[in-house]
Structure 1
Amino acid sequence: VCTPSGGAFGETATPNSIYDAVGAPLVRHVMALAGRATLFMYGQTGSGKTFTMEQIFQRASAHIYSHGISSGERGGCLHVQCIEAMGRRCVDLLTGVDCSLHQLGSGALRVYGAERAHVRDEAQLRAVLRR
């Protein structure tokens, strides 16, 4: 699912408004179709990306596990990857190891060399996202 933002979020944007605009549609997509979702954030150093991503992760975790994704339903397992792409370098944020991004012929991106954490409940997801 592609839901490009039509602009940037300013200093007055709240974590809830940002999640409602970009995080919630991705979570709904994953839950409805057992699909995949990717959230890219970019901006200047010190502009709040890390804080905002942490807030989005917290809300997504609560959203996912409060709406029926639990052990026993649709397998109950999520697969999570977290990477940072900076310039030509790509790092797996779960392990600290370099990985690589490749664009497929379909236009989709594939990550190689990054760990995929398997989580079955909200506590496991939050633990992975705190790494």
Structure 2
Amino acid sequence: MNPLLDIAGLDPSQDTPIELLHTILLGVIKYVWHHMNTEKWSDADRHLLAIRLQSTDTTGLTVPPIRTAYMIQYKNNLIGKHFKTLMQILSFHVHEISMPEQFTLIKAATELCARLWVPEIDDMEE
């Protein structure tokens, strides 16, 4: 038995911080990306996605410049910063190259990420 469970007022499910990199980016987003790339998208779809990703306006995003050619070429070897970029922009670019169910999955995953990273906007006018 874990002695932490005997501490009064401690609820591990509510009081333990979630580690976003490994839980979400290298978990949910990575698996969505891998599933779409290995089973759903053709080379033509990936080429269209590369063009769309490269043309993304990154103003206001917290990402480095998007290296789309690298991300498409090494689609199965991406790291956290790539998944953070995909998390923020993927749902805007896959609407015509995915089935409605897949698009719903991508939207749900990216919305989850947005809610975890920025649960509230301090200055909405800015």
Whichever of the two has the greater Rg, that structure is 2
Q: TM-score, normalised by structure 1?
A: 0.31
TM-score (norm 2): 0.32
